[in-house]
Amino acid sequence: MNVREQAQKRWDSVAKPLHSLGLLEDLIVKIAGVQGTADVRIDRRCAVVFCGDHGVVRKGVSQSGSEVTALVAGTIAEGTGNINLMASVAGTDVFAVDMGMITPVPGTVDRRIGNGTADITEGPAMTREQAEAAIHAGMEMMHDLREKGYQIAVIGEMGIGNTTAASAVTAALLDLPPEEVTGRGAGLSDAGLVRKIAAIRQALAINRPDRSDPVDVLAKAGGFELAGMTGAFLGGMKCGIPTIPDGMIPAASALAAARIDPRVTESILPAVMSKEPADRLIMEALGMEPVIRAQTALGEGTGGILLLPMLDMALQVYRGPHTFDALGMEAYVPQGKDGL
């Protein structure tokens, strides 16, 4: 019996209807498989916020300017950001990782590849070598977290303009037109959304990313933080750390990671479905069903971290004393549709 089968057997021993905690049961079984033990532990947890700037912001695709990336990253590094406030409730440590902001921020983890990406409407976001370096940096970050004893990680981001890059990456990888995968991000007007879609269309036409080569797609249409998160998902798989993507932008990176190594989906826990249209398309492509549909759009890991208290509650049942044996009750068994 493998670890996942052991975890499922434990769930089936709990005195309740079979699979009555639904997707939460599935996620606990999945975590057991990643950690290599049915004794699932997520006490040491963190949110890792990958930060980077984007040259395409100059095309008016975002409500804010690039200076906001450093401002928000600074609050995360100081412990006062939105993600920090939510993490304090969930008992979660937070790390801000500088993958390539224009302005370096004290207190962030330095994994810088460059001072922001180039404008994707005029050429590639970065070189292939830079994309590979960013992926490697994300993998190294997960290795460091394992060495520090972390057992689960929320993967988030901060980067003005990165919904544009993530939408471009998604359109390329899924071979879909930009208008099908592009949303309003942090709150674009109708005119802003038109500019954003036009910018993505131009970026794809000029750069012609190869959808069969996810590193090429990240290099031509992505961002330093997108490539870093791609590495984080791959690193989580290698290090035995389950990862939780926070909404569409990390999900785009998860899609790229899955195109690099399909096995990575076994270590990714789908938490939240954001209101970006690409999120649903990515989850469908990955064969995943998010647990939470809260119309979130904040980023920083704030949607992903919502899953942790839910997992805590599920684990209390999973590890608890309320079993068929303890109650002297006959265990439930699977039945057909007619109840026989």
Q: Does residue 149 lie within any of the structural domains?
A: yes
Task: With residue 268 as reference, give the H or E element that holds it.
Answer: none
Q: Does residue 197 lie within any of the structural domains?
A: yes
pLDDT of residue 340: 44
Q: What is the DSSP letter of 47?
A: E
Tell me the catalytic residues. 300
Q: Does residue 211 lie within any of the structural domains?
A: yes
Q: Give the domain range for residue 128.
A: 47-311
pLDDT of residue 23: 97
* Mean per-residue pLDDT pooled into runs of 10, the chain (340 residues): 95 96 98 98 98 94 91 98 98 98 97 98 98 98 98 98 96 97 80 89 98 98 98 98 96 98 98 92 97 92 97 98 89 68
Q: Does residue 331 lie within any of the structural domains?
A: no
CATH (domain of 271):
3.40.50.10210
DSSP 98-161: EEE-SS--TTSEE---SSS---TTTS-SS-HHHHHHHHHHHHHHHHHHHHTT--EEEEEEE-TT
pTM here is 0.96
pLDDT of residue 64: 86
Q: Does residue 270 lie within any of the structural domains?
A: yes
Task: Domain count for the chain, please give it.
Answer: 1
Q: Does residue 36 lie within any of the structural domains?
A: no
CA 193 → CA 184, 187, 188, 265, distances in Å?
6, 9, 6, 31
Q: Does residue 92 lie within any of the structural domains?
A: yes
Q: Does residue 26 lie within any of the structural domains?
A: no
